[in-house]
Amino acid sequence: MKLYHIGVDSPFSDKQKEYFKEKQRIGKAAVKYIEDGDTIILDSGTTTTEVAKNLDQFKDLSIITNALNIASILCENDEFDVFMPGGFLRKKSLSLVGGLAEESFHKFYCDKVFLGVDGFDTTHGLSTPNVEEAHMNEVMIEIAKKVIVVTDSRKFLRRRFAYIAPISRIDVVITDPGISEEDKQRLENSGIEVIIA
């Protein structure tokens, strides 16, 4: 297993190239959980960007995102209402974070949140290198009826600096075939639906 530094926060452009085909498959699989009329959150990240690219089949979606690149993809579709919070721009993730962004998100409720993560330890929970990003993700989880984590398998067995939430807050995990049987079993035994894309 490759070792990762706990606090390393790679630029978006670097992350985009890694496990690209797996992320594309995960993005396609994720849209099966969306229905017309849904209000959804798309967190910032390379895998959630792939979800955004697969939404053309839907009409009447309300989408909340704190990711600049995702908003620019969604603005091309007249059928969607897109909401963005204010906040501080994290250039490495192209996301808006901080108190202003969190305050905006607290004004909403939504059907589903699609969350990308940098670390996913099935005994510990979800994590990310950035504290503000972690707090933003926590708020997203709070306001969503259903929490769907979209992540490639190399994020498993990896812990990052800032803790987001325990696995008990997750409803569905969509990943690739690289997930270990042990992690898959642990998630399923916790009542989490695991989809292999």
Question: Which pLDDT score is estimated for 17?
Answer: 54
In a domain, 147, yes or no: yes
In a domain, 5, yes or no: no
Residue 152 CB contacts under 8 Å (≥ 6 apart), including other chains: 18, 19, 22, 23, 26, 47, 175, 176, 178
Tokens of 131: 């504290």
In a domain, 110, yes or no: yes
Question: Which pLDDT score is estimated for 114?
Answer: 98
In a domain, 1, yes or no: no
Average pLDDT for 83-103? 90
In a domain, 6, yes or no: no
- The enclosing domain of 102 has a CATH number of 3.40.50.1360
Range of the domain at 26: 12-196
Question: Which pLDDT score is estimated for 92?
Answer: 81
Q: How many domains in the chain?
A: 1
Examine the pLDDT at 8 and tell me if it is beyond 70.
no
Question: Which pLDDT score is estimated for 1?
Answer: 41
Examine the pLDDT at 144 and tell me if it is beyond 60.
yes
